[in-house]
Structure 1
């Protein structure tokens, strides 16, 4: 018979703080895994729990998205790119008009 495992409940506030700490430490340590391990030790949970919280906070990665979600993401990015290009053209036109006037 396997021993019963008892999992400690962690509040959403502690989870959010742990994710912030991992993100802050990732640039200072060798890897995100090391940051997860360090934060997990500090709060007394398994490293994979902290890693899962970080992944959940990041949202779905492109590798985990299905084809429909990827198409929607591409369409959104194309709309954003078109809007940025339009703003860029307007700014360039304004700059060119200003240069002509001086």
Structure 2
């Protein structure tokens, strides 16, 4: 992968994930602050960010993640999902 592709990839991740998605996420959590079910649903959508990051990497010509990376991704998805369920049960 060339340096230009790496720079473009880093830039796109910074713009889409670091700025736009984070801003929308915090705005949505503020709007749903008084509704625990909606708040849990919003927080669980963080998992989809991982899927779109992998798809974006592949579209830019990067290799698919290694088995070790996939295990790490799986652990993150499970952790975020469990946190959403536990937070929802705690609020009820």
The TM-score, its normalising length taken from structure 2, stands at: 0.29
Q: Which has the bigger relative contact order, CA under 8 A and spacing at least 6?
A: 2
Which structure's residues are more often helix, by fraction?
2
Look at both structures and tell me which one has the larger radius of gyration over its CA atoms: 1
